[in-house]
Amino acid sequence: MSETVPFDLEEQRARIERAQEETRKFVAEQHKLIAEQSKLAAEQSKLAAEASKLARDRMLAPWQIALSGMAAGAAFFGAGAAFVKVLGP
């Protein structure tokens, strides 16, 4: 009437081992992708810090030019005063 399917232990063991090996491959791939993601996040952080530094430098550049100009003007004024003192009475 009803046929009994033989219970093949070796076949089940082989199927379980294949499934475990496939799971190991997926886990290894996942670890590889997580490591790559961490590396990219660190690079992104570094690039964001560099962009922030460039933005700060761009903001301070006009002040640097102005202060450099004032320092040069003060040097010329001092040189002129010394020249007048050397030539004058």
Express each pLDDT in 28-79 by its tens digit: 999 999 999 999 999 999 999 999 999 999 999 989 999 999 999 999 999 9
pTM above 0.75, yes or no: no
Burial-class residue 75 by CB neighbours within 10 Å (0-12, 13-18, 19+): exposed
pLDDT interval class at 10 (50, 70, 90): confident
- 20's enclosing H/E stretch is helix 9-87
